[in-house]
Amino acid sequence: MKFSADTVYQIYPRSFKDSNGDGIGDIRGIIDKLDYIASLGVRYIWSTPFFVSPQRDNGYDIADYKKIDPTFGTMADFDELIKRANEKGLKIMLDMVLCHTSSAHEWFQKAINGDEHFQRYYIFRDGRAAGEPPTNWQCAFGGSAWEWQPQVGKWYLHLHDVSQPDLDWTNPEVRKEMADVVKFWREKGVMGFRFDVINLISKPEVFEDDTKGLGRKLFADGPHVHEYLRELVKNAGIDGMITVGEMASTNLENCIRYSNPDNHELSMSFSFHHLKVDYKDGDKWALMDADIPALKKLFEDWQVGMSEGGGWNALFWCNHDQPRAVSRFGDDEKFHAESAKMLAATIHLMRGTPYIYQGEELGMTNAKFTSINQYRDVESLNYYKILRDSGKTDAEAIKILGERSRDNSRTPMQWNAEKFAGFSTAEAWISSPDNFKRINVEMEERDENSVLAFYKMLVKFRKENPIVQDGDISFIERENPAVIAYRRTLGNETLIVICNFKGVETSLQEKSFDEYAAEGYKKIIGNYAEISKELRPFEVVVLQK
């Protein structure tokens, strides 16, 4: 696979590095830290949007696709970023939000002011009856996916925030506009793209109520999505470049089609099933401990299924929309380093292209906020109100947000133990957890056994070992409720990866370490110094023969 040796580093610019002391990260901040990013050994930098935006959804509500928001810098800054990154062997990937625009976009403003040409850029519909939306679909941030527009006299569809009206991809002019946007940035020197909720661009032929859910199953992976993607890739001239699609409520069959090179759609896909194993009854806002057997089954289904179908996975735990993995699946206090390293090894040695989200390589934790006033995320603020209206106390709602909020991943990058975590010379747009004084780049770089050093080793190991890049995968210890383990094979070479997802000592069930040793296996990677008879809390052991 073309990108099997590569690792991608994701940046959330607002929270990465502030260069001008306004408390908000910016493009020059990224430029200032290119040496650090290069030191990780990664190949690509994926940045979330910094285009002109009202920032209702932190930049995923775009008002102008071809201009840099002054909050983040200038086009000259961006041109310098491309140049300086290329000099260090780094390539820039940009986040493209092509499913919807901001309601502040010129197109939408013209539409609601009576321009029928631009009304066809969006999805306006009559209601079922006076005051009733066309369907019962719910938006991702809570509430109806439809909003009444009095100037037009119709409802418009917004699968996300009310300020993010969905584009109508059945209109060929919309598809041409979107291809033109991607082409514009490709010609600026961008070498890859991440496409936000791209599998939602093709809506169903008939709009009807969802009798079993919130509508996602009706409008995800729509009837023309593969056709639209092939057209976009061809017209934007990006076939063969690194491209990854964020796939909401998708399935394995479609992700194989999206990422199989023969289809000329995308080079890989993000799916999120493995990040829902701690959703009680499928509800993101209902807490439960992570179901490790379910997590293991999902990894097996997707790893083996994508391999057999010729598809390719984007491997990740963290991003700007997810809580921090070490707080979610590990132990961010007693076994902080051990669990952070174990989680890294679990996915970095799988089949696919790994993604590291800023701060993940340090083991950055959830925000641990104690008041709703500390939150900035529109989804979190909406759901706090929904939770309170449903009868939850303030303490209960804050506890849930503390586990689930997207702001957990959006706190400033922790560069050092100085004021404002070295992120800025001023108070940041969102506060940092207190642990920045012990979890930060400066301290991690001093420790040869740090989480950061472990991540660097994994990135280097992938680059140097074809078995990780291209080897087959099969799962072992399948009935062990605490362990996720798999075998990678290529020719006569074999790797065994064994991960304990519990904070207690755990036994192997299928084969002991002594038996592996008798077969000629040797430990080559681990997060404890010496191999033991049992798996220690959050231990990872990688064996090679």
What digits encode the pLDDT tens for the residues 305-359? 999 999 999 999 999 999 999 999 999 999 999 999 999 999 999 999 999 999 9
The CATH number of the domain holding residue 538 is 2.60.40.1180
Q: Give the span between the Cα atoms of 203 and 206, in whole angstroms.
A: 8
Q: At what angle do helices 292-309 and 252-259 cross, to 10 degrees?
A: 40
Query: Does residue 277 sit in the same domain as residue 398?
Result: yes
The CATH number of the domain holding residue 114 is 3.90.400.10
Structural domain contains residue 464: no
Structural domain contains residue 28: yes
Query: Does residue 48 sit in the same domain as residue 82?
Result: yes
Res 217: pLDDT = 86
Tell me whether residue 246 is one of the annotated catalytic residues: yes
> What pLDDT digit, counting tens, does each position of 371-423 carry?
999 999 999 999 999 999 999 999 999 999 999 999 999 999 999 999 999 99
Domain extent for 493: 471-544
Structural domain contains residue 266: yes
Could you say which of 6, 69, 95, 196 is catalytic?
196
Tokens of 475: 């799962």
- Where is the domain boundary, 432, 458, 484? 458
The CATH number of the domain holding residue 62 is 3.20.20.80
pLDDT > 70: what percent of the chain? 100
Q: Quick one: which of 277, 446, 455, 432 has its CA closest to 360? A: 455
Structural domain contains residue 166: no
Residue ranges of E strands in 119-272: 124-125, 146-149, 154-157, 192-195, 242-246, 268-270
Structural domain contains residue 179: yes
Query: Does residue 126 sit in the same domain as residue 185?
Result: no
pLDDT exceeds 90 at position 461 = yes
Query: Does residue 444 sit in the same domain as residue 514?
Result: no
- Where is the domain boundary, 157, 189, 223? 157
Q: State the DSSP string of 215-239.
A: SHHHHSS-TTHHHHHHHHHHHHT-T
Tell me whether residue 196 is one of the annotated catalytic residues: yes
Query: Does residue 488 sit in the same domain as residue 397?
Result: no
Q: For residue 20, give the 3-state DSSP assignment.
A: coil
Structural domain contains residue 435: yes
Could you say which of 231, 246, 321, 332 is catalytic?
246
pLDDT exceeds 90 at position 259 = yes
Query: Does residue 320 sit in the same domain as residue 382?
Result: yes
Res 214: pLDDT = 79
Residue given tokens 């820039």 in the structure block? 92
State the total domains in the chain. Answer: 3
Q: Quick one: which of 403, 322, 381 has its CA closest to 141? A: 381
Q: Is the pTM above the cut of 0.95?
A: yes
Query: Does residue 120 sit in the same domain as residue 258?
Result: no
pLDDT > 90: what percent of the chain? 97
pLDDT exceeds 80 at position 1 = no
Query: Does residue 262 sit in the same domain as residue 127?
Result: no
Query: Does residue 146 sit in the same domain as residue 188?
Result: no
Query: Does residue 340 sit in the same domain as residue 303?
Result: yes
Residue ranges of E strands in 306-410: 314-315, 353-357
Query: Does residue 374 sit in the same domain as residue 275?
Result: yes
Burial annotation 143-173 (CB, 10 A radius, 16+ → b, else e): ebbbbebeebebbbbbbbbbbbbbbbbeeee
List C-alpha distances in Å: 285 to 386, 459, 539.
10, 34, 30
- Where is the domain boundary, 458, 491, 525? 458
Structural domain contains residue 502: yes
Query: Does residue 184 sit in the same domain as residue 247?
Result: yes
Structural domain contains residue 272: yes
What are φ and ψ of residue 51, in 5° steps? -80, 170
Question: What order do you get walking across the sheet with 146-149 strand by strand?
Answer: 124-125, 154-157, 146-149
Residue 213: pLDDT band (50, 70, 90) is confident
